[in-house]
Structure 1
């Protein structure tokens, strides 16, 4: 369900954080009803300079206060501002958002990381993978030298070679998804890139189901994506 509200933002000439009570109350109502089966999107819009980014900062404080209340189930949240040219690329946007959830909540993005690394190798063979972007490779002890070694036939072969180092959680994931991942490895990079957001969402959904926690994602300057 999409909730769009006009009148939440003051006139362009005003800079102080005022007249936002309606916006904040709408947001509070949304997070208090996160148990609904459908997702909820709130859009706060206005011309540049009216305080949308500042409003996001205030809404983040609302979540932190909400999380401190014992009777509530804590909310996982992350924020990203697309007012940066590099973040407008889908893969970079998703990797950046993934890393924030990993840092704050240790969310596992196994399928996405494997898919993204396969996509990157196929579409950018001249540019080495960045180890910091793939927590899975760090867990398995796979170095970037291993990945760039011509003797290494594929990401999948490296995972199989080092899977003895993996956690029980990853081994369970691998056993259930290995056939689909093998099929994915045969796809062209354009197909994988077009579906990166689905792989990201798949991992994040599994996290939400496992923890039973709701989540909020703030995307500032979202129209740039």
Structure 2
């Protein structure tokens, strides 16, 4: 049946993305997994916390299968953004353990429902959905944040890749300096021949 195949295909990709997200925090110290690495405060453990909250919500209350763990209200303005960073009182083990428990609850929902099972997302403009919509949404959302985490991890120690078994081979600083210099030369040359469109090339 195409429905069963599609559900398993999407679910399998979601499971892989979850594991990739946790791989991005593996092997780092407490400071590096928590500290802000962009001007808006994006941080690795905060991404794990964020995904645990929203996956729990999407595969929980949306299908009238509420999470066994308490969640902040989605419409609480005072709590907005609190799921994107981790306080000093929240441990790595708590955040990761909650994410893994969320997987179990989500997986049970996915197994119990068909792709056309109805759900209701009150924070969406078109709140009436099916499991298919939510599976695609959470796969997209998780993949997006794994991409964020990949860049953050690269900033910290140069580690990149979609999973441990596909980690990019390490190179020394000289390799990356030469690689970036080549890209910089191409960007500068393109800017110089663009006829003034966009940003000007930097002055040597």
Of Structure 1 and Structure 2, which has the larger fraction of its residues in strand?
1
Q: For the superposition of Structure 1 and Structure 2, which TM-score range results when normalised by the shorter chain?
A: 0.3 to 0.5
Return the TM-score normalized by structure 1.
0.31
Return the TM-score normalized by structure 2.
0.34
Highest relative contact order (Cα 8 Å, sep 6+), 1 or 2?
1
